[in-house]
Amino acid sequence: MEPRVRAVAEELCREIESFTPALYSGADCAVLAEVLSRAEKACSGGRARAAARAISCGAHKQRGFADGADWLAKQAGTSRAEARTDLETANSLADMPATADAVAKGEVSIKEAAEVARGEAVCPGSEEELVELAKASGLGAVKEEVRKRALQAARAEDLATRQHQARYFRHWRDELGLVRFSGALPPTAGIGIVNRIEAEASRLRRGAGPAGRPGPFEAHAADALVSMLSGAGKGPSPRADLVVVVDLAAYRRGHAHPGEHCHIVGGGPVPVRFARAISGDAFLKAVTHDGVRTETVAHFGRHIGAELRTALELGPPPDFDGTRCTEPGCNRRYGLEWDHVDPVAHNGPTSYDNLQPRCKPHHWEKTERDRQAGLFEAPQPP
Ligand SMILES: [Zn+2]
What is the distance in A from the centroid of ligand 1 to the CA of 361? 6
- Residues at Cβ < 5 Å from ligand 1 ion: 325, 327, 330, 332, 359, 362
Average pLDDT over residues 95-110: 94
C-alpha of residue 135 to centroid of ligand 1, in Å = 21
* Distance of CA 322 from the midpoint of ligand 1 (Å): 15
Cα 117 to middle of ligand 1, angstroms: 29
Handedness of CA 52, 53, 57, 59 (dihedral sign): negative
Identify the bridge partners of residue 357 per DSSP, sorted by sequence position: 338
The answer for residues whose C-beta is within 8 angstroms of residue 127's C-beta and 6 or more apart is 96, 98, 99, 116, 119, 120
pLDDT digits (tens, 9 = 90+) for 265-288: 888 889 988 888 776 554 445 555
In this prediction, residue 297 carries a pLDDT of: 43
Going by DSSP bridges, is the β-strand pair 336-340/355-359 parallel, antiparallel, or unpaired? antiparallel
* Ligand 1 center to 19 CA (angstroms): 35
Is residue 161 scored above 70 in pLDDT?
yes
C-alpha of residue 237 to centroid of ligand 1, in Å:
24
Give the tens place of pLDDT for each residue, 44-97: 999 999 999 999 999 999 999 999 999 999 999 999 999 999 999 999 999 999
Mean pLDDT across the stretch 307-319? 79
| d(CA 198, ligand 1 centre) in Å | 17
CA of 206 to the centre of ligand 1 (A): 19
Q: Ligand 1 mean position to 338 CA, how many Å?
A: 12
pLDDT digits (tens, 9 = 90+) for 220-247: 999 999 988 887 655 555 455 777 888 7
* CA 320 to ligand 1 centroid distance, Å: 19
Q: Residue count of the chain, please give it.
A: 382
- Average pLDDT over the chain, rounded to an integer: 85
C-alpha 331 to ligand 1 mean position (Å): 6
> Do 45 and 104 touch, CB atoms closer than 8 A?
yes
Ligand 1 midpoint to CA 325 (Å): 5
Q: How many CA atoms lie within 13 A of 307 on its CB side?
A: 9
Is the pTM value of this prediction over 0.75?
Answer: no
What is the distance in A from the centroid of ligand 1 to the CA of 362?
A: 5
Question: What pLDDT, on a 0 to 100 scale, did the predictor assign at position 301?
Answer: 61
Radius of gyration for the alpha carbons in the chain, expressed in angstroms and rounded: 26
Here the contacts of 142-149 (C-beta below 8 Å, separation 24 or greater) are 142/112, 142/115, 142/116, 143/115, 144/331, 145/119, 146/115, 146/116, 146/118, 146/119, 146/122, 148/321, 149/119, 149/122, 149/123
* pLDDT at residue 313 tops 90: no
Look at residue 111 and tell me whether its pLDDT is greater than 50. Answer: yes
pLDDT at 128: 94
User: What CA–CA distances, in Å, run from 157 to 256, 268, 269, 316?
Assistant: 11, 12, 9, 26
For residue 329, how far is its CA from the centre of ligand 1 (angstroms)?
Answer: 8
CA 33 to ligand 1 centroid distance, Å? 24
Centre of ligand 1 to C-alpha 358, Å, is 5
- For residue 294, pLDDT over 50 is answered with no
Give the range among 248-252, 300-304, 313-317, 373-377 with minimum mean pLDDT. Answer: 300-304
Q: How many A from CA of 303 to the centre of ligand 1?
A: 22
- For residues 313 and 17, the model is more confident at 17
Determine the distance separating the centroid of ligand 1 and the alpha carbon of 61, expressed in angstroms. 49
36 alpha carbon – ligand 1 mean position (Å): 27
Q: How far is the CA of 169 from the centre of ligand 1 (A)?
A: 31
Considering only residues 326 and 252, tell me which one the structure prediction assigns the higher pLDDT.
326
